[in-house]
Amino acid sequence: MDGITPDTPPTRVLFVCLGNICRSPLAEGVFLHLVREAGLADRFEVDSAGTGDWHVGERPDARAAAVAHRHGVELPSRARQVTRDDLDTFDHVLAMDRENLRELGRIARPGARAEIRLLRAHDPVRDGDDVPDPYYGGPSGFDLVYEMVHRSCSVLLAELTATR
Ligand code: 4NP
């Protein structure tokens, strides 16, 4: 975090999945939790969005809220659809799976500002690229998602604080 002054703008981080009610709200909540624990709340702006619009305006899925609650993590999000402008206003956009990544690549303007990549590019456990969609599965899927998201967000935060 060298070179940070009170005028340095916050780093803007956006997590993206399909519906914005399961995976990306968990990633948003976990990343915010880690940022606050590290005393860096004023250094980051954090949000989440979905590539689809079916759940716009909804609070996170009850199963996502339950796993977050068990870990002492709040989920502040209300679902919204990702926009082309998001990809020019956020610094880092983290996709939950390759399908989300493809869709973001499709909507991004040429030369878009954001660095767009898979969240699990930061996961030290290399057993796949995707945070699997837990929507149609049972609650154990949400525990797996939580673990992947937590590992990845910890490394992401360490990387973002080491490079600025
Ligand atoms: P998410 O999960 O992308 O992690 O929020 C889903 C939520 C809803 C749907 C699919 C995935 N859906 O088809 O409605």
Angle at 132 between CA 128 and CA 135, to 5 degrees: 175
For ligand 1, pick from 22, 94, 146 the residue to mutate: most ligand atoms within 8 Å of CB: 22
Residue ranges of the domains in the chain? 11-162
Tell me the pLDDT tens digit for each residue of 93-113: 999 999 999 999 999 999 999
Q: Which of 22, 123, 133, 153 is catalytic?
A: 133
What mean pLDDT, rounded, does the chain reach?
95
Question: Residue 133 catalytic?
Answer: yes
Cα distance between residue 155 and residue 37, in whole Å: 14
Tell me the pLDDT tens digit for each residue of 10-63: 999 999 999 999 999 999 999 999 999 999 999 999 999 999 999 999 999 999
pTM of this prediction? 0.96
Question: Residue 17 catalytic?
Answer: yes
Q: Is the pLDDT of residue 92 over 80?
A: yes
Q: Is the pLDDT of residue 4 over 60?
A: yes
pLDDT-based confidence at 2, cuts 50/70/90? low
Class of domain 11-162: alpha beta
For 43, the 3-state DSSP assignment is helix
**Contact, 143 vs 111, CB < 8 A?**
no
